[in-house]
Amino acid sequence: MSQETIAVLLPDETSVELPAGSSSADLAAAIGPGLSRAAIAARVDGELHDLGRPLEQGARVEIVTRRDDDPDALFVLRHSAAHVLATAVRQLHPGAGIGFGPPIEDGFYYDFDVAEPFTPEDLERIEATMLDVVETDDGFERREVSREEAEELFEDDPLKLERLGEIPEEETISVYRDGPFLDLCRGPHVPRTGEVRHFKLLHAAGAYWRGDEKRQMLQRIYGTAFYSEEALQEHLERLEEARRRDHRKLGRELDLFSIQKDIGPGLICWHPRGARIQLELRRWIERLLETRGYEFVYTPHVSREALFERSGHLQAYEENMFPSMRGEGDKEAYRLKPMNCPAHTLIYASRQRSYRELPLRLSEIDSVYRFERSGTLHGLLRVRMLTMDDGHIFCTPDQVEEEIFTALDLVDEVMTTLGLSYRLDLATRPEKRIGSDDVWDRAEASLHEALERIGVEYGVDEGGGAFYGPKVDIKFRDAIGREWQGATIQLDFNLPERFELEYIGPDNAPHRPVMIHRAIFGTLERFTGVLIEHFAGAFPVWLSPDQVRVLPVTDGHAEGAAAIVARLREAGLRAGLDARSDTLSYRIRDGELMKVPYLLVVGDRELEAGTVAVRVRGAEQKQLTMPVDEFVTEVSEKVRAKALDAHLG
C-alpha cells in the first residue's frame, strides 16, 4: 500500500481505501450520497469522533447518522445544543462565565455564572437567539492547542481555567469554535450548528459549581434536542404528563401528605387520606411476609454510637447519619438509627443458634433516619425519616438460593399486583472485597440459580457488587415508561464477621451464617411517591383512600344515604358521606377530582328500590344502577383480588 492511501474497516468487515488525511465525512461520501447526507459523527475504534476528524490507517469506522433512536447520535446532538445555548447566552450576556455543558439523559444543560437567575422571559429570549445561531449554520471547528495557548484563550473564564488545570499533562487539549463562541471541550459535535433544529429550553435552576455547596452558585439552564420535530413533541408531551403526575402536586391536591417548615425538610406528615394508603401497603406486605415465614421484631430508634462503630456504619456512612446526641455529663453518645441491620444482628446473637432454626427471617417495618443533604431532598422520593419494609435473613450457605428465590418471588407478586413491569440486575464481585473466592463462587452461583428459577430476564453487572457481597437490584417501569430504582437483595459476608455470628451445625461445630438484607418496597415514602405518579393519583380500589362516596340528592335523602354508608363500612369498605349543602353536580365534580373510584347517588328512586346509581371512575358509561347488595359484593371482590381496574358488571 502506498503512503498516499489508508485503509479503514467498516462494521461489515469490508475494507475501504481512502486518500491519506481523509475524514469520516470523506468515508461517508465514498460509500454513498445517502449516507453522506445523513452522517453527523462517527464511531472510530469505539469512540465518538467529529465527522471532520482525519482517520488513521486501520481504524474501525461506523458512521453515526441523524437518528432519534441512536443514543450516540442524540448524545452528539445534545452536546452540540449545549454549545448553541452557550453561544446564545454569551451574545445576550457577554459577561456570563461558563461552567460545564454536558449532554444528560433526555437532554443537556449548561451552567452559567451570572449575577441574576434566569427568568422564563430570559429563556424565551435565549431560545430565540439560539434559533439565530442555528440559522447562521456555523461549523463546529475543532482545534488542538497547547496548555499555554488554552490558558490565554480562557483567561477571562476562571471556571474553564480551573477545569483546564485538571486535564492530565499527557492529554490532548482541544477547543471548539462555532461562530463567536469558543469552548474548552473534548467533543464531538455535529458538523454545523444548523443541525440543532428541534430543541427546547425547559427550565433554569441554581446549581453549585461542581455540585459543591461551598462553591459559588451558578445558573443552570436545562434543555432537550432531537433530530425530528415529531420526537421532540413526543418527548415534551411525556414531560407534560410527568408534570401532571408529579406526586408533590397530587399529594397536595388529593390531601395525602405535607412537608411542614416547622417540622423540617425531608420529614413527611401523612394526612388521613395518605395514611390510609400507608396502612394498606403495610398490612399487605405484613401479610405477605407472614405467609413466607418472617418473624416481626421491633428495635429502638436510638442506640449507643458504639454499636454503629462495631457495625462499621459510623466509618463508612457517618455523613448520612444524624449528628450524635449526648446528655450533659454522659459518657456515651447516642445516634438515631440509619439502618436496622446492627440491631437485628444483636437479636440473632442474643443466644446460641442451631442450624435447625435457620433460616431466621427477621422483619421490621418501621422508621430509620438518614441525614440526607438538604439539596438532594425531593418530595417523598428522598426523605430524612424513612419507613422501610426492612428484613434480614440469617441462613446457611446452602440455603441462600432458596431464600433469594423466595425474596424474588415476593418482588414478583408485589410488582405484578401493582401492574409494574420490572427487570433484575445481578451485581457480582468487585475487585476490592472481603471473603474468599470460594465463598463468592458459591454465593454468585446461588444467585444465578435463583434468578434462572424465577424466569425474569436479568442483566449482570460484572464487578458492581458491594465489597461485602453480591446483590440483585430491582428496576421497575411505571405507567409512562419511566424506570425507577426499586428494592435490593443484598448478600452480606461482613456483618456476620464483625458481630462474630455463629450457628452450631450438624457436625456440632460452630459455623458462620450468611446474612441477606432485603426490602421489597424499599421505603414506603418513596414507593408511595412512585405509586402516586404511576397511577396518576387514581389508585386501584383496594389502595384508594376513599373507595366509595355516597351523595344524597337532597337533604331529605341524607338519612337513607347514611344508612348505605354504614352498610358499606360494615362490609369493610372505606366509605364516606358527602351531604354538604353544595349542589349535586358540584359534589360529583369534587368526588371525581379526588379520584374516588365509586360515587353513589341516592335519591327517591334509589331509596325506594334499594338500589344505588353508581358513577365509576374513568368509566365510559356515565352511570349504572344496581342493588346495594350487588354493589357491595362486586366492590368487595375487587378489593379482595386487588384488581387494578374499578370496572363493574
Coil/strand/helix, residue 4 = coil
**Min dist. Cβ of residue 82 to Zn ion (A):** 7
Stretch that binds Zn ion, among 226-234, 509-517, 568-576, 626-634 (CB under 5 A): 509-517
* C-beta closer to Zn ion: residue 39 or 185: 185
**Min dist. Cβ of residue 281 to Zn ion (A):** 20
**Min dist. Cβ of residue 176 to Zn ion (A):** 5
Stretch that binds Zn ion, among 62-70, 283-291, 320-328, 338-346 (CB under 5 A): 338-346
**Min dist. Cβ of residue 119 to Zn ion (A):** 26
Do the beta carbons of residue 647 and residue 598 sit within 8 Å? Answer: no
Grid coordinates representing 193?
A: 450548528
**Min dist. Cβ of residue 392 to Zn ion (A):** 6
* C-beta closer to Zn ion: residue 285 or 599: 285
* C-beta closer to Zn ion: residue 188 or 552: 188
**Min dist. Cβ of residue 78 to Zn ion (A):** 10
* C-beta closer to Zn ion: residue 66 or 517: 517
Stretch that binds Zn ion, among 1-9, 152-160, 181-189, 628-636 (CB under 5 A): 181-189
> DSSP label at 412?
H
Do the beta carbons of residue 33 and residue 63 sit within 8 Å? Answer: no
For CA atoms 19, 20, 21, 26, the dihedral sign is positive
- Environment class of 549 (CB within 10 Å of its CB; exposed 0-12, middle 13-18, buried 19+): buried
Stretch that binds Zn ion, among 237-245, 334-342, 369-377, 554-562 (CB under 5 A): 334-342
Q: Which of residues 230-289 bind Zn ion (CB under 5 A)?
A: none
**Min dist. Cβ of residue 239 to Zn ion (A):** 24
The 305-324 contact track toward Zn ion, x by CB under 5 A, reads: --------------------
Stretch that binds Zn ion, among 46-54, 106-114, 178-186, 322-330 (CB under 5 A): 178-186
Q: Rg (Cα) of the chain, in Å, rounded?
A: 31
Nearest residue to 492 (alpha-carbon basis) of 368, 365, 342, 386? 342
* C-beta closer to Zn ion: residue 63 or 388: 388
Number of residues that bind Zn ion (CB under 5 A): 3
CA 552 remoteness from chain centre: 44
* C-beta closer to Zn ion: residue 113 or 634: 113
**Min dist. Cβ of residue 467 to Zn ion (A):** 15
Give the DSSP per-residue string, 47-65.
EEEETTSBPPTT-BEEEEE
String of b and e for 249-266 (b: at least 16 CB within 10 Å)?
ebbeebebbebeeeeeeb
> DSSP label at 195?
G
Does 341 bind Zn ion (CB under 5 A)? Our answer is: yes
**Min dist. Cβ of residue 216 to Zn ion (A):** 22
Grid coordinates representing 177?
A: 469554535
Nearest residue to 514 (alpha-carbon basis) of 604, 428, 611, 395? 395
Measure the CA–CA gap between 283 and 296, rounded to whole angstroms.
13
Do the beta carbons of residue 606 and residue 556 sit within 8 Å? Answer: no
* C-beta closer to Zn ion: residue 50 or 401: 50
Stretch that binds Zn ion, among 4-12, 148-156, 261-269, 514-522 (CB under 5 A): 514-522
Nearest residue to 380 (alpha-carbon basis) of 261, 532, 238? 532
Stretch that binds Zn ion, among 333-341, 368-376, 444-452, 625-633 (CB under 5 A): 333-341
Nearest residue to 79 (alpha-carbon basis) of 232, 183, 202? 183
Stretch that binds Zn ion, among 92-100, 339-347, 524-532, 625-633 (CB under 5 A): 339-347
Amino acid at 557: H
* C-beta closer to Zn ion: residue 185 or 607: 185
Does 489 bind Zn ion (CB under 5 A)? Our answer is: no
Q: Which of residues 188-227 bind Zn ion (CB under 5 A)?
A: none
Stretch that binds Zn ion, among 341-349, 381-389, 600-608, 630-638 (CB under 5 A): 341-349
Measure the CA–CA gap between 209 and 216, rounded to whole angstroms.
6
Of 220, 517, 518, 587, the residue at the interface with Zn ion (CB under 5 A) is 517
* C-beta closer to Zn ion: residue 174 or 544: 174
* C-beta closer to Zn ion: residue 258 or 299: 299
Coil/strand/helix, residue 390 = strand
Of 133, 185, 196, 474, the residue at the interface with Zn ion (CB under 5 A) is 185
* C-beta closer to Zn ion: residue 162 or 634: 162
Stretch that binds Zn ion, among 149-157, 314-322, 335-343, 499-507 (CB under 5 A): 335-343
**What is the rounded (10 degree) CA torsion for 86, 75, 178, 30?**
-170
Grid coordinates representing 170?
A: 499527557
Measure the CA–CA gap between 392 and 262, rounded to whole angstroms.
35
Residue whose cell numbers read 393519583: 537
* C-beta closer to Zn ion: residue 129 or 490: 490
Does 177 bind Zn ion (CB under 5 A)? Our answer is: no
Query: H-helix or E-strand containing 159?
Result: helix 158-166
* C-beta closer to Zn ion: residue 337 or 517: 517
**Min dist. Cβ of residue 391 to Zn ion (A):** 8
Nearest residue to 515 (alpha-carbon basis) of 369, 427, 403? 403
The 439-458 contact track toward Zn ion, x by CB under 5 A, reads: --------------------
Nearest residue to 480 (alpha-carbon basis) of 235, 231, 201, 198? 235
* C-beta closer to Zn ion: residue 218 or 341: 341
Amino acid at 90: R
* C-beta closer to Zn ion: residue 51 or 277: 51
Grid coordinates representing 157?
A: 473564564
Measure the CA–CA gap between 47 and 55, rounded to whole angstroms.
12
Measured in residues, the chain has a length of 649
The 10-49 contact track toward Zn ion, x by CB under 5 A, reads: ----------------------------------------
Stretch that binds Zn ion, among 45-53, 184-192, 435-443, 627-635 (CB under 5 A): 184-192
Instruction: Name 112's bridge partners.
Output: 98, 219
* C-beta closer to Zn ion: residue 185 or 277: 185
Give the CA distances from residue 587 to residues 117, 189, 256, 290, 577, in Å, rounded to whole numbers and listed in that order.
43, 57, 19, 41, 11
Positions touching Zn ion (CB under 5 A) are: 185, 341, 517
